[in-house]
């Protein structure tokens, strides 16, 4: 297999605050190949955005990338090595700040942010902002950059681009602004675009249009995407492969169909079950129990165990890394859950845990869900076990006999 | 900032969310913040001094009659009578401060042109500045709350009319308006009471605006709607729901406003339209010392420093209060 | 609404305020215990006939609203009444004194803006570093120190102790070098103007500087944390351009508003500073009028001060609207 466009290995980004060290990203590894749309999914606070900003080395004080390696097209965006004094130091071949700015940011890796309202500078015209970035990243003279800007505005479906070129962000609707940001990213002709929750701030119809647009333009320009989102629906619609993040770690990594149909991690299952779908009523939704703990003081063992319906005593002690548990379409399917045999941590013998789910009990309605989208073939044993967990909503149900997994 | 003194004790995140509100939390945040803590110390110090001197002069008046020539402070060696002018030949005038070669420890900050002890007068001056600052801020606060909440709650024509008045009063530079008010209303013989009134009234618009915008945002809240729908009288809604909920940010503003008020009253007294001689007031002292600027430099320095420190205290404290109450600055 | 129409709209909006200023002033001056003439002549041995004659001359024997209408009729023609104490029309007196005040206030603003903006930006970019702490302490002292006391201290240091700069009066460049026997050439005139202006300018400008610096710092910090700044960074825009263009432009808008609103503090301060530095501006004229209880002059000056403030706010509003594309020119107001 050819070298991936972007390879991230064991990346750790931490924030050093008064209250302690926040391990926002805690050793994640993934890659993005050419022409792929790779999803990075998780609840807010999981460290998705920090991870994506780390790729551009755009981590602001008090944050810092402390470990790992980021390679992009053979260039080292970040890399450490052990110096002669035993201290870690930046590697020789790591790009300097100036090189990152001129060679990577914009022209190689571009970004689209979540909030199109906030990402455009309110006091400059749309055209002016587009033109500035095009001039800078494609070395075009002013006139050519302006032409290119107008062409891109047309490309992303903004009507009357010559006229709208001179207008200000407040004169654009949210969806139109997001189109501008997409135009901005594509106009710089990068090989990779990081899209950080680009459709979250938009309403559903607009979201659909934008996703369609991206799909279409991605085919045309063959740009790779790293798609950061919390929305499994978006993932299903657009991604080729998916990384699921929980509390700074990647807990599951698989091609998208595989992830949906052969889910290997309880957190992913929970995410899928909490997703609204046309075939389910609101009452059938199963919100994930509890809140995600803070990354400043993560739970021992498996970080998901306090909220995990399948947690057992061993999960409190043993911290699982993401291991290959299956293989599909030439891609590994990795998951960080002790229940899989590859871990051999004694999960099966371990007694089940009383999880904290009763705190917010009453939310999950007792309806049965049929697992994956459309409820096709892929429903596994694992899913059944989750379904059994649906306690009675009225009385604060204590955790019941969820020990019965069907391994 | 500096590595926290006490907040590191038991690994923060377990902290109860509830604990982020309420007075204890606010005070805790203030004492955590070094600069705000100094503000608190200064304000407390000035308040204690003013309280003491206020009690002292009133007690003396009660005990010895209106024209008392004695204060209890005089029992302490470093204090003198703040107002009484020593008879000719007794006190030495224009004495430099004690650290100066010609100074004496009996008068740590020297004496004024009439031979009164400057230290005593500076200390007693706190009382005037602080009470004027607080009293006039209170007038502005109460007046502003009434006008602002009525204006914000009723809206429409009432709001339009009141806001036009507020805008108008706001348009006249405060010092000008206060002097005009003081001089005309007092019938040409200004004194500190009129100054307090004038300053207070002048600041009503500022408070009214803040309260109004608070009320406007609260008015739309569901619980107000609910109260209105269930037929609670408007006046009761304002008094029981709207005002209590909009008061916190205004209280912070009031703290900061005390500093501004003291500054303004100092200017007023400096021009001769605030406290009148022989009242020991810092602005009034600067007014007197202005005539002796070349002869005795010290007379101009001490009252200014006293004003500076006091206002700085209120500003630091107010800033700290603002930071502590502003949830956006959490984390 | 275009900028021209917005200007007109703002001017129309100012009319009730200006009217309100005259009403407040008029009411204050006329509802005072004892009528103005008696106040003026207080303590003097006067015969009743003279008082009555004066009262009649000024129409003081007529009802208040009638007097107000007469007064306003004059004001609209630019006639602010007659100063009994100076024996001159009020308008004339004020026109002769307005120049120094404007010179003082504008130069104080120039000083404040020229120092506050760079200092605020430096503080924002070096947040929590020593530079930031120093500038914050300077700002704290600035907002806590009475301007007139700063003036006194500056005089004591630079005029009395060091003898470098004059402590009183101003030299007015618009009078030309011929008006001053001791000045021969234009450059010399401007030099003297600057020398005389320096201390009062600093004394009056310090508070403004401190306020603006605080706002500038907060705004720059906020602006530098804006998502549009992160976006610019992510597209490889150099840090200098980000600071000078992307963050700066946004941070300046609130500054403009503050400058307009602070005009009332600045004008109040001008009264004190003119008093301390013996500058023959409107502020000193006001104090003299108050001392003489010359009520028509007091009214006139108050109205002019209020008008300067209103005009100042309109000017800043307009420049805000000119700079910020988002301003919808107050349609919904």
| Chain-chain contact of B263 with C146 (C-beta, under 8 angstroms) | yes
Cβ–Cβ contact C322 with A under 8 A:
no
For residue A45, list chain B residues with Cβ-Cβ distance below 8 A: none
| Complex-level ipTM beyond the 0.95 threshold | no
Q: Which of B39, B50, B51, B45 has the alpha carbon at shortest distance from B125?
A: B50
- Count contacts between B and C (CB, < 8 Å): 144
| Helix (H/G/I), strand (E/B), else coil: A280 | coil
Asked if A297 reaches chain B (Cβ–Cβ under 8 Å), the answer is: yes
Chain C nearest C-alpha distance from A132 (Å): 9
Asked if C285 and C276 touch (Cβ cutoff 8 Å), the reply is no
pLDDT band, very low/low/confident/very high, at C45 (cuts 50, 70, 90): low
Of B1, B8, B13, the CB nearest to A294: B13
**Mean pLDDT across C193-215:** 93
Residue C322 · residue C253 · CB < 8 Å: no
Task: Please tell me which residue, C241 or C42, carries the higher pLDDT value.
Answer: C241
The rounded distance, in Å, linking the Cα atoms of A183 and A164 is 13
Using the predicted structure, report yes or no on whether residue A47 has a pLDDT greater than 70: yes
Q: Is the dihedral of CA C179, C183, C186, C190 positive or negative?
A: negative
Q: Say if B145 falls within a structural domain.
A: yes
Are A208 and A129 in the same domain?
no
Determine the pLDDT at residue C198.
Answer: 93
Residue A353 is given by DSSP the state P
pLDDT of residue C101: 94
User: Which residues touch A75 (CB under 8 Å, ≥6 apart)?
Assistant: A93, A95, A103, A104
**Coil/strand/helix, residue A110:** strand
As a whole number of angstroms, the distance between CA A253 and CA A236 comes to: 14
* Structural domain includes residue B82: no
Chains with 3+ CB–CB pairs under 8 A to B are A, C
Residue C47 predicted with pLDDT over 70: no
Distances (CA, A) of B109 to A343, A403, B82: 81, 82, 13
Residue A262 shares a structural domain with residue A303: yes
CB contact under 8 A, B175 and C272: yes
Q: Which two tokens stand for residue A376?
A: 């096709």
**B40 reaches C (C-beta below 8 A):** no
Element (H, E) at C119: helix C90-125
* pLDDT tens sequence across C4-21: 888 888 888 889 899 999
Residues of B in contact with A306 (CB under 8 A): none
- At A199 the pLDDT is 82
* Judgement on whether residues A349 and A272 belong to the same structural domain of the protein: yes
The string of DSSP letters for A116-182 reads HHHHS-TTS-HHHHHHHHHHHHH---HHHHHHHHHHHHHHTT-SSHHHHTTS-GGGS-HHHHHHHHH
Q: Which of A26, A21, A76, A19 is nearest to A50 (CA)?
A: A26
- β-strand A37-41 against A241-246: which pairing, if any? parallel
User: By C-alpha distance, which of A271, A280, A188, A284 is closest to A232?
Assistant: A271
Rounded Cα distance between B204 and B215, Å, is 16
Q: A179 and A201 in one domain?
A: no
Range of the domain at A113: 109-190
**C326 in Cβ contact with C311 (< 8 Å):** no
CA A109 distance to own-chain centroid: 16
C108-144 per-position pLDDT tens digit: 999 999 999 999 988 888 877 888 888 888 899 999 9
Note whether B7 contacts A: Cβ–Cβ < 8 A: yes
A241 shares its domain with A321: yes
pLDDT: is B35 or A171 the higher one?
Answer: A171
What tokens were used for B36?
A: 């705000």
CA distance B288 to chain C (A): 13
Mark which of A190, A220, A238 sits at the end of a domain.
A190
**One domain for residues A161 and A254:** no
Q: Of A169, A190, A211, which one is at a domain's C-terminal end?
A: A190
Q: What is the pLDDT of residue A363?
A: 36
The pLDDT confidence band at residue A252, using thresholds 50, 70 and 90, is: very high
List pLDDT tens digits, range A381-402: 333 333 333 333 333 333 333 3
In the sheet where A323-328 sits, what is the strand order? A109-112, A192-196, A224-229, A37-41, A241-246, A249-255, A331-335, A323-328
CATH of the domain at A323: 3.40.50.300
Q: What percent of chain A has pLDDT over 90?
A: 18
List, as ranges, residues 249-268 from C with C-beta within 8 Å of A: 249-250, 253
Same-domain pairing of A354 and A241: yes
CATH number at residue B306: 1.10.3720.10
Contact status, residue B287 vs residue B2, Cβ threshold 8 Å: no
Q: How confident is the model at residue C42 (pLDDT cuts 50, 70, 90)?
A: low
Tally of domains in chain B? 1
Is the domain of A241 the same as that of A353?
A: yes
Average pLDDT of chain A is 80
Tell me if C189 sits within 8 A of C173, measured CB to CB: yes
Mutate one of B170, B176, B188, B285 to test the C interface: name it (highest C CB count within 10 A).
B176
Residue A101 has pLDDT above 70, yes or no: yes
Burial of A242-281, coded b for 16+ CB within 10 Å and e otherwise, reads bbbbbbbbbbbbbbbbbbbbbbbbbbbbbbbbebebeebe
Structure tokens at A165: 């070129």
Close Cβ partners of B49 (under 8 Å, ≥ 6 residues apart): B123, B126, B127
Please check the confidence at residue C93 and state whether its pLDDT lies above 80. Answer: yes
Under a CB-based contact definition with an 8 Å cutoff, are residues A111 and A186 in contact?
A: no
- Residue B322's domain comprises 34-76+108-329
**Nearest-CA distance A198 → chain C (Å):** 13
Q: Residue A24: is its pLDDT beyond 80?
A: yes
Q: How many helices (H) and strands (E) does chain B have?
A: 11, 0
Domain termination residue (choose one: A142, A167, A190): A190
Structural domain contains residue A388: yes
Contact A19 B3 (CB under 8 A): no
pLDDT at site B161: 86
Pull the structure tokens for residue C137.
Answer: 């302490």
Number of domains chain A is built from: 2
Contact A202, A42 (CB under 8 A): no
Using CA atoms, how far residue A205 sits from A196, A211, A225, B182, in Å, is 19, 10, 22, 65
Selecting from C17, C156, C264 the residue whose C-beta is nearest the C-beta of B297 gives: C156
Per-residue pLDDT of chain B (331 residues; tens, 9 = 90+): 333 333 333 333 333 433 444 556 666 666 667 778 888 899 999 898 888 877 777 666 666 555 455 565 665 655 666 676 666 666 677 777 777 777 677 777 777 777 777 788 888 888 888 888 899 999 999 999 888 888 887 878 888 888 888 888 889 999 999 999 888 888 777 888 888 999 999 889 888 888 888 878 777 777 777 777 777 777 777 777 777 776 777 887 888 888 889 999 899 999 988 888 777 889 888 888 888 888 788 888 999 999 999 999 998 888 888 777 664 443 3
Nearest to B268 by CA among B165, B159, B167, B192: B192
Which chains lie within 8 Å of chain A at 3 or more CB pairs, if any?
Answer: B, C
Both A201 and A281 in a single domain?
yes
* Domain architecture of chain C: domains with CATH: 98-291 (1.10.3720.10)
C260: closest chain B residue by CA? B171
Q: A377 and A290, same structural domain? A: yes
Three-class secondary structure of residue A193 per DSSP: strand
Residue A66 falls inside a structural domain? no
Nearest CA in chain B to C139: B312
The answer on A386 and A243 residing in a single domain is: yes
Q: Which of A16, A17, A18, A45 to mutate to test the interface with B (most CBs of B within 10 A)?
A: A18
How many interface pairs between A and C have CB atoms less than 8 angstroms apart?
69
Q: Are residues A203 and A292 in the same domain?
A: yes
């Amino acid at each position: 297999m050819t070298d991936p466009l972007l390879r991230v290995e064991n990346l750790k980004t931490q924030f050093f605050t008064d209250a302690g060290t926040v391990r926002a990203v805690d050793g994640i590894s993934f890659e993005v190949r050419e022409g792929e749309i790779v999803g990075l999914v998780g609840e807010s606070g999981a460290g998705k955005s920090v991870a994506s900003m780390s790729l551009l080395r755009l981590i602001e004080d008090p944050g810092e990338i402390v470990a790992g390696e980021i390679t992009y097209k053979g260039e080292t965006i970040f890399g450490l090595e052990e110096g002669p004094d035993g201290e870690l130091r930046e590697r020789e071949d790591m790009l300097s700040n100036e090189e990152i700015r001129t060679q990577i940011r914009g022209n190689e890796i571009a970004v689209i942010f979540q909030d199109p309202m906030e990402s455009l500078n309110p006091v400059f015209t749309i055209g002016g902002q587009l033109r500035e970035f095009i001039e800078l990243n494609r070395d075009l003279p002013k006139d050519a950059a302006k032409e290119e800007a107008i062409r891109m505005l047309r490309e992303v479906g903004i009507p009357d681009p010559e006229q709208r070129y001179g207008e200000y962000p407040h004169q654009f609707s949210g969806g139109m602004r997001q189109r501008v940001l997409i135009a901005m990213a594509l106009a710089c002709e990068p090989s990779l675009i990081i899209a950080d929750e680009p459709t979250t701030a938009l309403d559903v119809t607009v979201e659909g249009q934008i996703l369609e647009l991206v799909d279409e333009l991605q085919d045309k320009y063959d740009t790779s995407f790293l798609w950061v989102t919390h929305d499994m629906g978006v993932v299903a619609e657009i991604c080729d492969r998916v990384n699921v993040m929980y509390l700074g770690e990647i807990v599951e990594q698989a091609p998208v169909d595989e992830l949906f149909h052969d889910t290997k991690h309880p957190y992913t299952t929970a995410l899928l079950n909490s997703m609204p779908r046309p075939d389910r009523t609101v009452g059938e939704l199963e919100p994930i129990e509890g809140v995600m703990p803070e990354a400043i003081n993560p739970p021992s063992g498996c970080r998901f165990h306090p909220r995990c319906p399948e947690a057992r005593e061993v999960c409190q002690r043993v911290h699982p890394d993401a291991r290959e548990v299956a293989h599909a379409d030439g891609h590994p399917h990795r998951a960080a859950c002790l229940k899989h045999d590859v871990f051999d941590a004694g999960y099966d013998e371990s007694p089940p845990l009383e999880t904290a789910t009763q705190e917010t009990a009453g939310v999950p309605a007792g309806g049965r869900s049929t697992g994956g989208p459309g409820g096709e073939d892929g429903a596994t044993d694992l899913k059944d076990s989750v379904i059994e967990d649906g306690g009675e909503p009225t009385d604060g149900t204590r955790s019941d006999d969820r020990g019965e997994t069907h391994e | 900032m500096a590595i926290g003194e006490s907040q590191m004790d038991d690994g923060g995140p377990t902290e109860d969310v509830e604990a982020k509100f309420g007075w204890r939390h606010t005070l805790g945040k203030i004492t955590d913040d070094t600069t705000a803590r100094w503000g608190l110390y200064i304000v407390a110090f000035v308040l204690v001094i003013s309280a003491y001197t206020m009690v002292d002069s009133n007690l003396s008046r009660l005990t010895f009659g209106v024209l008392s020539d004695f204060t209890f402070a005089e029992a302490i060696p470093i204090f003198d009578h703040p107002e009484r002018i020593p008879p000719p030949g007794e006190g030495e005038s224009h004495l430099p401060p004690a650290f100066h070669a010609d100074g004496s420890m009996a008068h740590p900050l020297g004496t004024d042109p009439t031979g009164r002890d400057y230290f005593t007068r500076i200390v007693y001056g706190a009382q005037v500045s602080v009470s004027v600052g607080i009293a006039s801020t209170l007038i502005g606060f109460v007046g502003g709350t009434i006008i602002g909440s009525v204006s914000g709650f009723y809206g429409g024509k009432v709001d339009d009319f009141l806001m036009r008045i507020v805008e108008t009063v706001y348009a006249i530079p405060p010092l000008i308006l206060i002097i005009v008010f003081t001089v005309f209303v007092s019938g040409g013989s200004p004194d500190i009471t009129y100054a307090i009134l004038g300053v207070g009234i002048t600041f009503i618009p500022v408070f009214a605006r803040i309260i109004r915008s608070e009320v406007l945002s609260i008015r739309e809240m569901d619980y107000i709607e609910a109260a209105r729908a269930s037929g609670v009288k408007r006046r009761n809604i304002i008094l029981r729901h709207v005002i209590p909920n909009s008061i916190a940010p205004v209280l912070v503003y009031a703290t900061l406003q005390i500093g501004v008020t003291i500054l303004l009253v100092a200017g007023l007294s400096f021009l001769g339209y605030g406290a009148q001689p022989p009242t020991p007031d810092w602005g009034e002292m600067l007014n007197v010392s202005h005539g002796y600027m070349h002869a005795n430099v010290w007379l101009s320095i001490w009252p200014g420093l006293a004003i500076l420190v006091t206002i700085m205290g209120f500003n630091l404290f107010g800033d700290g209060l603002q930071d502590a109450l502003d949830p956006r600055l959490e984390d | 609404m275009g900028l021209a129409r917005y200007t007109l709209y703002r001017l129309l909006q100012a009319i009730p305020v200006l009217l309100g200023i005259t009403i407040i002033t008029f009411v204050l001056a006329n509802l005072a215990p004892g009528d103005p003439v008696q106040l003026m002549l207080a303590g003097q041995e006067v015969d009743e006939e003279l008082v009555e004659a004066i009262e009649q001359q000024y129409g003081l024997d007529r009802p208040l609203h009638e007097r107000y209408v007469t007064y306003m009729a004059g004001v609209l023609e630019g006639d602010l009444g007659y100063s009994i104490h100076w024996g001159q029309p009020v308008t004339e007196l004020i026109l002769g004194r307005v120049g120094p005040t404007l010179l003082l206030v504008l130069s104080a603003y120039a000083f404040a803006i020229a120092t506050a903006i760079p200092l605020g930006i430096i503080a924002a970019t070096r947040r929590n570093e020593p530079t930031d702490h120093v500038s914050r302490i300077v700002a704290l002292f600035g907002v806590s120190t009475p301007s007139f006391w700063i003036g006194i201290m500056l005089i004591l240091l630079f005029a009395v102790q060091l003898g470098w700069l004059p402590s009183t009066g101003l030299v007015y460049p618009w009078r030309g070098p011929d008006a001053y026997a001791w000045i021969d050439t234009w450059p010399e005139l401007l030099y003297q103007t600057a020398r005389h202006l320096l201390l009062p300018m600093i004394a009056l400008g310090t508070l403004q500087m401190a306020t603006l610096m605080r706002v500038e710092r907060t705004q720059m910090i906020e602006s530098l944390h804006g998502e549009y700044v992160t976006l610019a960074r992510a597209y490889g825009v150099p840090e200098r351009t980000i600071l000078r263009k992307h963050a700066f432009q946004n941070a300046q808008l609130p500054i403009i508003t503050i400058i307009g609103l602070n005009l009332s503090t600045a004008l109040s301060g001008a009264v004190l500073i003119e008093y301390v530095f013996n500058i023959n501006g409107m502020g000193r004229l006001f104090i003299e009028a108050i001392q003489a209880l010359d009520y028509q002059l007091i009214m006139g000056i108050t109205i002019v001060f209020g008008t300067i403030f209103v005009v100042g706010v309109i000017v800043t509003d307009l420049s805000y609207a000119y700079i910020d594309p988002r301003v919808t020119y107050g349609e919904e107001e």
